């Protein structure tokens, strides 16, 4: 075995011996990174991750340690890793980070040079670094493109280039697609080529935009000339447009577009409307507007509807039947992959789903509470939660945060610890509970 002192000595000498090493991530703030980058004539790279994100772990394991990656990024960037749900939450919000991993490249003033999401293989990741570096002096840098777009929305060729470049920069292209469709002359609007374009860009077409107009005006023609695959996909394009509009509104923090989405979602056939999806969109909309009264009223109405819709006895009966069904299936064929579902059903599928929903929505309400009557609302939901299931982590979690907001830190910590102990580890955000507990113990905001 290698002597520990020798190993430490070798590690210290690695940079001088030329031994391959991966990316060097610095434990400093964004402000410090920008200052250091300016002093060293470098750029700033940020890896936004979460502890539950699989592709984030794959990047950390397979890409960041590579010598080729380390050589490129250590030479040209000050590199940061930020947990977007913990210490990096404020910076993630600043740059509208909504997916993980998000790979962000900044100049020394904090302006975005390149931004993209998802796992990237070595060659793509190295190419992204080169593109970020070259964009600094490029006529078509991200910043220049955004400035030029304002005055060139009638320039067909510019818009075509703009869409391509913005896509390369990992940016939203829906506004560019809409502008190009309004002025383009190269594709007949009723042609098979236009159908292909609309299907390919279905998530980049906005509700009420030119793309949807072309689709509506030529739908029957498109169906007649569609291939078998296109005929299968065409009826689904409206859903894609709807989902894409929601994503764009969230990404761009655009309340007007979110309101457009909500109105379109409500206009669907009744059997396609999910109340929880609608409420989630409405709460995001009110949050964008900083409209706390509407946010609280919507939340209270929704939770009160949930707890009065079905009696506790009926919920227990439904959960009992579900468990018996899964138990019979397991007894008949005890496959290992059925164990987790069997255990979940034993805990009560409907009850657990309801309690988790009350916890999540209740905490959004709790952050905005300003009166005793509003605290009473939360207490009613907590009381209901324990009546539905006497010992459950979700109601413990909500009650812990109510105590913390009211300054009862010791009780809050005790309940948060109990919630963590009983929290389903299958929940991908389970790990965030430990961070919330740490924040409570520090007396920090959660």
Instruction: Tell me how far the alpha carbon of residue 330 is from its chain's centroid.
Output: 35
From 154, 153, 175, select the one nearest 166 (Cα to Cα): 175
Q: Which two tokens stand for residue 342?
A: 């069997």
Q: Which two tokens stand for residue 115?
A: 């931004």
Residue 89, C-beta contacts closer than 8 angstroms, at least 6 positions apart: 83
Phi/psi at 193 (5° precision) = -65, -40
Spatial separation of the C-alpha atoms in residues 292 and 302, rounded to whole Å? 15
Q: Which of 37, 44, 56, 288 is catalytic?
A: 56
How many other CB atoms are there within 10 angstroms of residue 137's CB atom? Answer: 7
8 A C-beta contact, residue 247 and residue 257: no
Q: Which of 30, 44, 53, 78 is catalytic?
A: 53
- 393 as an active site residue: the answer is no
Residue 383, C-beta contacts closer than 8 angstroms, at least 6 positions apart: none
Spatial separation of the C-alpha atoms in residues 19 and 381, rounded to whole Å? 59
Q: Which two tokens stand for residue 336?
A: 């290992």
- 56 as an active site residue: the answer is yes
- What residues act catalytically? 53, 56
């Amino acid at each position: 075995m290698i002597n520990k002192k020798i190993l430490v000595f070798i590690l210290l000498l690695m940079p001088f011996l030329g031994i391959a090493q991966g990316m060097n991530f610095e434990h400093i703030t964004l402000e410090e990174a920008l200052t250091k980058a300016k002093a060293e004539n470098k750029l700033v790279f940020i890896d936004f991750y979460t502890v539950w994100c699989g592709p984030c772990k794959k990047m950390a394991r397979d890409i960041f340690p590579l010598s080729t990656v380390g050589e490129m990024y250590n030479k040209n960037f000050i590199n940061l890793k930020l947990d977007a749900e913990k210490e990096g939450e404020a910076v993630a919000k600043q740059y509208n980070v909504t997916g993980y991993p998000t790979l962000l490249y900044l100049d020394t003033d904090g302006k975005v040079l390149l931004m993209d999401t998802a796992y990237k293989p070595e060659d793509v990741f190295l190419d992204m670094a080169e593109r970020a570096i070259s964009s600094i002096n490029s006529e078509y840098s991200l910043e220049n493109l955004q400035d030029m777009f304002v005055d060139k929305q009638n320039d067909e060729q510019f818009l075509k280039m703009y869409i391509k470049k913005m896509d390369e920069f990992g940016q939203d292209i829906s506004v560019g697609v809409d502008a190009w469709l309004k002025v383009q002359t190269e594709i007949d609007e009723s042609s098979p080529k236009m159908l292909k374009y609309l299907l390919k860009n279905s998530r980049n077409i906005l509700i009420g935009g030119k793309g949807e107009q072309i689709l509506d005006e030529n739908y029957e023609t498109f169906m007649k000339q569609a291939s078998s695959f296109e005929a299968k996909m065409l009826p689904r394009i409206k859903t894609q447009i709807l989902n894409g509009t929601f994503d764009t509104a969230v990404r761009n923090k655009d309340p007007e577009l979110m309101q457009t989405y909500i109105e379109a979602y409500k206009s669907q056939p009744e059997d396609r409307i999910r109340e929880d999806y609608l409420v989630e969109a409405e709460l995001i909309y009110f949050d964008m507007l900083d409209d706390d009264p509407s946010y609280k009223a919507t939340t209270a109405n929704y939770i009160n509807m949930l707890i009065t819709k079905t009696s506790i006895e009926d919920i227990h009966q439904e959960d009992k039947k579900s468990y018996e069904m899964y138990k019979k299936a397991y007894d008949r064929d005890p496959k290992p992959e059925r164990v987790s579902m069997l255990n979940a059903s034993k805990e009560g599928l409907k009850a657990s789903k309801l309690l988790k929903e009350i916890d999540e929505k209740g905490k959004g309400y709790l952050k905005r509470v300003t009166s005793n009557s509003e605290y009473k609302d939360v207490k009613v939901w907590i009381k209901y939660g324990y009546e539905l299931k006497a010992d459950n982590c979700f109601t413990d979690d909500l009650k812990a945060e109510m105590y913390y907001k009211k300054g009862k830190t010791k009780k809050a910590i005790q309940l948060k610890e109990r919630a963590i102990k009983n929290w389903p580890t299958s929940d991908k955000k389970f790990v965030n509970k430990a961070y919330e507990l740490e924040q409570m113990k520090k007396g920090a905001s959660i």
